């Protein structure tokens, strides 16, 4: 059972870097700045999740539909997905109003 799956990728690092107040480049765009304290904090936060709240590569992370299959089987609470490229997840759980039974 896992709480989260967030791929350790450029896109996810970019978001974590922005959330810590970091930037990839200086204002003049002449030097990379992602090795700043904010960048180190973002990288450590992202990689620190592996094996604690999210599965590792040894657990199968990064393979096709790994997170979707865990989620559908009830073994993953949250998965970070990219809108526009994700496939719908069909769940056996019905959402919406409960019908009264008589």
- For the chain, what is the mean pLDDT? 84
- Would residue 102 count as lying in a domain? no
C-alpha to C-alpha distance for 12 and 33, rounded to whole angstroms: 17
- Would residue 73 count as lying in a domain? yes
**Domain enclosing residue 65, as ranges:** 2-79
Q: Is 77 helix (H, G, I), strand (E, B) or coil?
A: strand
- Would residue 90 count as lying in a domain? no
- Would residue 91 count as lying in a domain? no
Number of domains the chain contains? 1
Each residue's pLDDT tens digit, 35-85: 999 999 999 999 999 999 999 988 888 888 888 888 889 998 988 766 555
C-alpha to C-alpha distance for 61 and 21, rounded to whole angstroms: 28
- Would residue 85 count as lying in a domain? no
- Would residue 16 count as lying in a domain? yes
Please list, residue by residue across 52-89, b when 16 or more beta carbons sit within 10 angstroms of its beta carbon and e when fewer do: eebbeeeeebeeeebbbebbeeeebeebeeeeeeeeee
pTM: 0.70
Q: What stretches of the chain show up as alpha helix (H) in DSSP?
A: 10-19, 37-48, 66-72
């Amino acid at each position: 059972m896992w709480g989260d799956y967030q791929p350790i990728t450029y896109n996810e690092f970019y978001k974590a870097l922005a959330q810590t107040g970091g930037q990839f480049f200086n204002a003049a765009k002449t030097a990379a700045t992602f090795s700043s304290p904010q960048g180190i904090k973002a990288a450590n936060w992202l990689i620190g999740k592996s094996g604690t709240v999210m599965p590792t590569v040894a657990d199968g992370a990064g393979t096709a539909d790994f997170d979707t299959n865990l989620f559908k089987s009830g073994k993953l609470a949250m998965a970070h997905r990219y809108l526009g490229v994700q496939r719908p997840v069909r769940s056996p759980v019905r959402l919406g109003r409960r019908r009264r039974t008589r």
